[in-house]
Amino acid sequence: MSDAALDRLGGVGAAAPALEIRRLTASYSSSPALWDVDALIPSGTLAAIVGPNGAGKSTLLKAAVGLIQPDAGHVLIEGRPAREALDRVAYVPQRDEVDWDFPVTVREVVEMGRYRSAGWISRLRKADHLHVEQALAKVRMTSFAGRQIGELSGGQRQRVFIARALAQDAPVMMLDEPFSGVDVRTEASLLGLLSEIRRTGRTVIVVHHDIGTVRSHFDWALLLNVRTIACGPVQESLSPEALRRAYGGLAGEEGNGEVVWIG
């Protein structure tokens, strides 16, 4: 483990981990999607959750933000039980879980990020609108603010959801496969945006398929296949041996179904 990672984990005054999962088991019907999962993601990292299809990556994020009830185990956000710390997390679901035909504009989606702090009943105040405009500008979507979300490209849709997360002003961001269905250039620009958000002191947790980009751009990785395979700084957690255990000989899986072999 690197000194920087150790600094983040321990020492007097060190921040609590952004996300800590202890012995988490979760299931939908009978078979568990997550089994006895332990994981720790230090605060201030750009962290990836990696694993094959059906590994439980989305389930893990949903358990962390209280969308599903685990069978056993605990989720801590910044050292507090997740249910008490949900205002500290901004969550961007996988794109197929969003109804893109819902008649809502880009600005209205980003405004949703403010309602948690403003309250559902109250109207947004001037300061809330300022947050919304700043978030739109940050992701370079100001000129699209009046568009319906259904009229956007895949990359633009991700930008809007990142803006909603930014408007929420939460220190921990969780994004489920934000790069799926976007081209390589858009992926690079979204990655740049997420790295920039991390530099503002936030923790950015991303479910991602591409081991290469995780190695080159991320600090930390949780390698998951129903169980925890590895969790730590990328150079240690994504060892060939751990990848073999997670993928059964496959190093990674692209969104287009291509697989990359290792070893």
From the CB of 66, what's the least distance to ligand ADP, in Å?
15
Size of the site for ligand ADP (CB under 6 A): 11
Q: Which of 17, 51, 70, 155 binds ligand ADP (CB under 6 A)?
A: 51
How many residues in total does the chain contain? 263
Residues 62/19, Cβ–Cβ less than 8 Å: no
Q: How far is the CB of 161 from ligand ADP (least distance, A)?
A: 17
* Residue 144 vs 220, nearer CB to ligand ADP: 220
**Contact code string over 54-93 relative to ligand ADP, x by CB under 6 A:** xxxxxx----------------------------------
Instruction: Please identify which residue in 34, 43, 55, 58 interacts with Mg ion, judged by CB under 5 A.
Output: 58
Residue 33 or 92: the one with the smaller Cβ distance to ligand ADP is 33
Interface with Mg ion includes 59 (CB under 5 A)? no
The DSSP bridge pattern shows strands 172-176 and 227-233 to be unpaired
* 3-state SS class at 198: helix
The H or E element that residue 135 is part of is helix 126-138
In the chain, beta strands by DSSP E: 19-27, 32-41, 46-50, 72-77, 80-81, 89-92, 172-176, 203-207, 220-225, 227-233, 250-253, 259-261
Residue number with CB closer to ligand ADP (33 or 64): 33
Contact 75, 52 (CB under 8 A): no
Three-state SS for 210? coil
Q: Give least dist CB 2 to ligand ADP, A.
A: 27
Interface residues with Mg ion (CB under 5 A) are 57-58
Interface residues with ligand ADP (CB under 6 A) are 28-29, 33, 51, 53-59
